[in-house]
Structures are given as structure tokens and as C-alpha cells.
Amino acid sequence: MSGPSSTPLRVALLGCGTVGSAVLRLVGDQAGDLAARIGRPVEVVGIAVRRPAHHPDVPQHLLTTDAAALVRRDDVDLVVEVIGGIEPARSLMYAAFEAGKSVVSANKALLAEDGPGLHAAAAEAGVDLYYEAAVAGAIPLLRPLRESLAGDQLRRVVGIVNGTTNYILSRMAETGAGFAEALAEATELGYAEADPTADVDGFDAAAKAAILASLAFHTPVSSADVHREGISAVSATDVARAAEIGCTVKLLAICERVPNGAGDSVAVRVHPAMIPTTHPLASVGGAFNAVFVEAEAAGQLMFYGQGAGGEPTASAVLGDLVAVARNRVAGASGQGPTGYADLAVRPMAETPTRYHVSLDVADKPGVLAAVAQEFARQDVSISTVRQTGRGDAATLVIVTHSAPDAALSATIAALRDMPAVRGVTSVLRVEGLS
Ligand SMILES: NC(=O)C1=CN([C@@H]2O[C@H](COP(=O)(O)OP(=O)(O)OC[C@H]3O[C@@H](n4cnc5c(N)ncnc54)[C@H](O)[C@@H]3O)[C@@H](O)[C@H]2O)C=CC1
Ligand SMILES: N[C@@H](CC=O)C(=O)O
Ligand code: NA
């Protein structure tokens, strides 16, 4: 049996921002252990950046602004893509596969847009495409879905998968911080995307939900298939109303397999929701992420940890780097995800949800009955009604039972038009209430 080789595996690093610089640091700090774990040393031989002058701490001879030439260089064996976004990351990955090089990426936006195409290109080239860092940062989640749970049937994956919005919502609830102030802090801490509207408007979480659903249900799901709402409309009133009923507001990603006699479908959505403070996801604070997985045989599993930040994300990148390097040493490649089930994606309008609605109404006879009638008109059953205040300042707080989302949103539209309703002050979906 042959022993470890001293010939290094040569890595091209594309991007040297929050994640890339942490990857570079960890590869250097852990060089000895990585060599022992892989069987060959790992050496970063080139780093593509946009502006070399912005990277004074990096060995200058490694820097290049020509990422396309770097991935094709003969002295590059593996590629780590931490530029982010669609282009040029997509072209660079395809070029790497064409040149027979495995890719490790943290790029959920790209994987959620073009996952099947990228995987097909990697498979055709007989190389690997790994991206554990793309969903829930440091938390090992994609490999467990792809490998450990590959023998089970998954029913539901639900969690908090965006660190920036969780940080903002936590700060708003705990300290009363304003939205802009909390977002600035999250950006400063390296959690936010280059364009933080990707976090705030739910695009980042929707991309992660698409990746999770694809792996969980063996079905190609892209970002465009995901119902997406961000947190920019979450108000201090929503947070206060949630607290009044023992709930907190979280941005949830919910991926479900929906049983149906004619053939199962999948429903994938990202939106803010009130959850009870006793729910395990309620205590997930700051930039932490947590994901529940429900599987037929395994039952409930929970994954928790740091979902954003340079070092935590670099940990997941390095785990993938070790995996693809080991495959390369063994002359093998891992099995990519399978999309054989190819289930239909169920529209949000048909997906059952529950609403919490807060209305300012006149405290007059018949108002409650008229409001209740609007719910009944859409076949929406009410779970609880609470009235506070009297006269002009009366507030009705209604929690519904589960109903198709379209029926609930039609009810809200009708309530807004009712003369007796002075204002619809808070509307949020509710998850996890008994
Ligand atoms: N920051 C985080 O907490 C996490 C980030 N990710 C993902 O990791 C990737 C990188 O994110 P960050 O490091 O936070 O972003 P960043 O904006 O800090 O770094 C990206 C770097 O790529 C460089 N770049 C852009 N275009 C380039 C080009 N054409 N050639 C060479 N370099 C180029 C930029 O100048 C920048 O330095 C993204 O896909 C992001 O979604 C994933 C998990 C967590
Ligand atoms: N911007 C993302 C970074 C990790 O994916 C987040 O806030 O979670
Ligand atoms: Na992860």
C-alpha cells in the first residue's frame, strides 16, 4: 500500500472577501493536519480578486485579476469559488469542470438557479461539486441530507437559514433596535450578502430553501419555485403583537412534501412567521441558524449552529475541500444529488397556512359578526378572537385555523375594504401553534 504523497494538491481560490480570506487563513493554519487527513498537502497556488491593492496581507505573487485564466491553469487541481452571484461564478465553474477540476462553492444563489446544469457538467467531467457552506454556513446539513438520510423518506425541512435577518429580528425583539441599525451591525459582522437586500427581501433564504428541497425530495427546485417574502414589512407592531400571544417573529424556510392521491407534490416557501416562544426555533438568536428535518424512519432531527460569518463558513468550505481532495487522491468522484422523483411544485395559493390578524375597529354592535362573516365567506375557520380597548381604540386580534393561503389573503383584502375596519395593523402567518 502506498503512503502519503508529498506532491501538493493545488487550489485556485476565486474571491478573497469575508469567506475567501478565512479559507486562506485556515488552509495555512491547518496545513499539517489537512495533509495528514487527505494524504497529500494542500497548497493555494492562485487567488483571483477584483482589486489586488485591497489585499495587502495576501502574498502578492498569488493574486490575479484573471479568474478565467486561473481556473484553466495546468498547475491548478481544485477550485474554490467564493465570489458569489451568478456571473462570472457560473462561467468559471463550467470552465473548471471542462478542465477536469472539482469545485467547492458557497454560492447558494447560483446553485439554486442552475444546480441541475452544474451537476450535469460535473458528472460529465467525472469531478465533484460540493457546497455545504451554501446553506446554513458551518452547519453540516447538505451532506447529511445527501448521504446520511439517503435511505429515508423526508417529509419536511423547516428552519431559520438566514443569519442576517435572524440577527435583525433578534435585535428588534430583544433590544428594540431599529431595522437600519441592526442591518448595519450584521453587515459589519460579515453576515450580510454583498447586496444585503438579498438577505432582507428573502432571496438568500429562498435560494437555500430551493437547495434544501431539491436534496430532501430528490426533485429539481429552483429559486423561482419558492414563494418568497422578506422581513422589510415586519413592523414593531408585528413584534409587539407576537409577544402578546407568547410568540416571536422569525423568517422561516419551509419545505414540505405534500401527500396527494394523484401524486405527491412539494411546497417551498420563505416568509416571516410568528412562532411560540416555547418552540425550539424561537430561541435561535443572532446569526445562528437551525433546521428541523422530519423523516419517516428517522423521526425529527435538529441541526443548529453558526449560519454566517467568515470562519464558520470557511469551516464548511474546508470540509468540502477535504472531501473533494480525498476523492481526487482516490481517483474517484462522489455521487451528486438525484432528481429522479421530479415532483410537481405546489403553488403558495393552495398551501395551507394560518394567519394572525390584528384590526383596529369601532367598538359597535355587529362589527365582530361582520368581521367573522368575511372569514366565513372564504371558508376560513377562526381559532381565537381577542378584543382589547373600547370605543374608537378597539383592537381585534384573530388567529385562524389552517386554510389555503389564497383564501386567507382574500379575506385580508376584504377586511381592508370594510368600513367598520379602521385599519389592518398586523398580518403575519403563524407556525407551530397548537
Ligand atoms: N459571508 C457569509 O457569512 C457567507 C457567505 N456565503 C457565500 O460565500 C460567497 C462569498 O461571500 P462573502 O465572502 O461574504 O462575499 P464578499 O463580498 O465578502 O467577497 C466576495 C469577493 O469576491 C470578489 N470578486 C467579485 N467579483 C470577482 C471577480 N470577477 N473575480 C475575482 N474576485 C471577485 C469581491 O471583490 C470580494 O472580495 C457568496 O456566494 C456568499 O453567498 C455563504 C455562507 C455564509
Ligand atoms: N448572508 C447570509 C450568509 C450566509 O449564508 C446570511 O445572513 O445567512
Ligand atoms: Na452548511
Instruction: Look up the ipTM and state it.
Output: 0.99
- Return d(Cα 193, Cα 17) in angstroms, integer: 11
Q: Which of 101, 108, 208, 250 is catalytic?
A: 208
CB 433, CB 355: distance < 8 Å: no
pTM reported for the whole predicted model: 0.96
Ligand 2: does its nearest atom lie under 6 Å from the Cβ of 111?
A: no
Angle subtended at Cα 109 by Cα 108 and Cα 113, rounded to the nearest 5 degrees: 110
* pLDDT per position as a tens digit, 155-189: 999 999 999 999 999 998 888 888 889 999 999 99
User: What's the one-letter identity of residue 265?
Assistant: S
Angle subtended at Cα 360 by Cα 358 and Cα 364, rounded to the nearest 5 degrees: 125
Among 339, 336, 354, which residue's Cα sits nearest to residue 409?
Answer: 354
Three cell numbers at 316?
A: 464548511
- CATH of 142-306 among 3.40.50.80, 3.30.870.10, 3.30.360.10, 3.50.30.60: 3.30.360.10
- CATH of 349-430 among 3.30.70.260, 1.10.3720.10, 3.20.20.370, 3.40.50.12780: 3.30.70.260
CATH of domain 9-137+310-330: 3.40.50.720
- Please tell me the residue having the least CA distance from ligand 1 atom 6: 106
Ligand 2: does its nearest atom lie under 6 Å from the Cβ of 192?
A: yes
Taking the CB of residue 180, how many other CB atoms lie within 10 A of it?
9
* Residue % of the chain over a pLDDT of 90: 88
Alpha helices in 30-162 (DSSP H): 31-38, 67-72, 89-98, 108-125, 142-143
Q: Taking 50 as the threshold, does the pLDDT of residue 381 lie above it?
A: yes
Q: SS in 3 state form for 357-415?
A: EEEEECCCCCHHHHHHHHHHHCCCCEEEEEEECCHHHEEEEEEECCEEHHHHHHHHHHH
How much distance in Å is there from the Cα of 370 to the middle of ligand 3?
A: 49
List where CATH 3.30.70.260 sits in the chain. 349-430
| Ion ligand 3 residues within 5 Å by Cβ | 132, 136, 139, 141, 316
Per-residue pLDDT, 286: 94
Ligand 2: does its nearest atom lie under 6 Å from the Cβ of 201?
A: no
Residue 208 a catalytic site member: yes
Ligand 1-lining residues (CB < 6 angstroms): 14-20, 48-50, 67, 82-84, 88, 106-108, 133-134, 137, 190-191, 193-194, 308-309, 313
- Return d(Cα 115, Cα 135) in angstroms, integer: 13
- Please tell me the residue having the least CA distance from ligand 1 atom 19: 17
Ligand 2: does its nearest atom lie under 6 Å from the Cβ of 166?
A: no
- What does pLDDT average to over the chain? 95
* pLDDT per position as a tens digit, 63-113: 999 999 999 999 999 999 999 999 999 999 999 999 999 999 999 999 999
Average confidence (pLDDT) over 409-417: 97
Taking the CB of residue 148, how many other CB atoms lie within 10 A of it?
12
Of all atoms in ligand 1, which is nearest to the CA of residue 15? 22
Three-class DSSP category at 353: strand
Backbone angles phi, psi at 75, to 5 degrees: -90, 20
